[in-house]
Amino acid sequence: MNTTPSIAATTGTAARLQPSEIMIAAIAPMLAGLRHVAVGMQSPIPGSAALLARALSGGRLRVSILGSTRQNAFTDGGRELFECAGQGRIDAFFLSGGQIDGAGNVNLVGVGDISSYPQATQRFPGSFGSSYLYFVIPRVILFREEHSPRTLCEKVDFVSAPGTSPPEVYRPGGPHALVTPLCVFTFDRTRGRFTLASAHPGVTPEDVRAATGFDYDSPAVVPETASPDTATIDMLRGPIAQDIAETYPAFARRVWNV
């Protein structure tokens, strides 16, 4: 079930933006002032956001996109990524999952009776290094293109990567925010809980509440997610689209017809 409201009826700049573009524009400011951002496989939205943030920084931000030949200085793939992260040389990373719950836990293994693993109801691609990176990279931004109670659930069926750890556990990394086609959540690591930071243009707080399976905090007045200006949109649909097409051609064709 698609729970993402159409934005076709909205007015102004946002009326011309696709949900993917709104997500990209919402993520990019979270990367301002950082030194090095890494992007994993199958992450075209975070990859586009990182490239946009680099362009807005005047090229000062280093972006490493796994699977890219032009946007990746790593020569040893994931192994080099993990080593770099463990040395504290990556400031931000991105995680998604089949399920994400209100405590910031991510499930990349499967759903159903996980006690009978690997005979789960549905299998996901697997965790790879998500738990390790979740612990060591200071700013991990969660994202999910489907915003529904089944994906943003009360409690994940399997914890691939925990959102929080006990106080005695040394953990410099963890969730910073969650971005979806409907809204932006921020995450309080001390309380282990999300707060609705903004709703995208054309989306009401009630829409977000109805589509979310976990409980979260919300201010009395929920801000609207800021829309990018015309220059940023042109940059996104021009050079950023061309750059991301090298790694994610299907995404670039679908979103920008590149």
Segment 5-28 mean pLDDT: 70
pLDDT band of residue 12 (cuts 50, 70, 90) is very low
Looking from the CA of 27 toward its CB, the CA atoms found within 13 Å total: 34
Distance CA 165, CA 192 (A): 9
Residue 147 has pLDDT above 70, yes or no: yes
By the 10 Å C-beta count (0-12 exposed, 13-18 middle, 19+ buried), 58 is classed as exposed
Number of H helices, E strands in the chain: 8, 12
What are 221's two structure tokens?
């007045």
Sign of the CA dihedral running 95, 97, 100, 104? negative
Answer whether 0.85 is exceeded by the pTM.
Answer: yes
Top-confidence residue, 92 or 112: 92
% of the chain exceeding 90 in pLDDT: 79
125 to each of 4, 110, 128, 242, how far by Cα in Å? Answer: 24, 8, 9, 28
Residue 65 has pLDDT above 60, yes or no: yes
pLDDT at 14: 47
> Which of these, 92, 79, 98, lies nearest to 159 by C-alpha position?
98
Any idea which of 31-40, 66-75, 201-210, 244-253 has the lowest mean pLDDT?
Answer: 66-75
pLDDT at 111: 85
* pLDDT tens-digit readout, 213-247: 999 999 999 999 999 999 999 999 999 999 999 99
What are 129's two structure tokens?
């290094």
pLDDT at 118: 61
Distance CA 170, CA 54 (A): 30
Distance CA 120, CA 73 (A): 38
Segment 19-38 mean pLDDT: 97
pLDDT at 76: 80
pLDDT at 3: 44
Taking the CA atoms of the chain, what radius of gyration do you get in angstroms? Answer: 18
Segment 91-118 mean pLDDT: 87
Domains of the chain: 13-256 (3.40.1080.10)
For residue 113, the tally of other CB atoms under 10 A from its CB is: 11
pLDDT at 116: 60
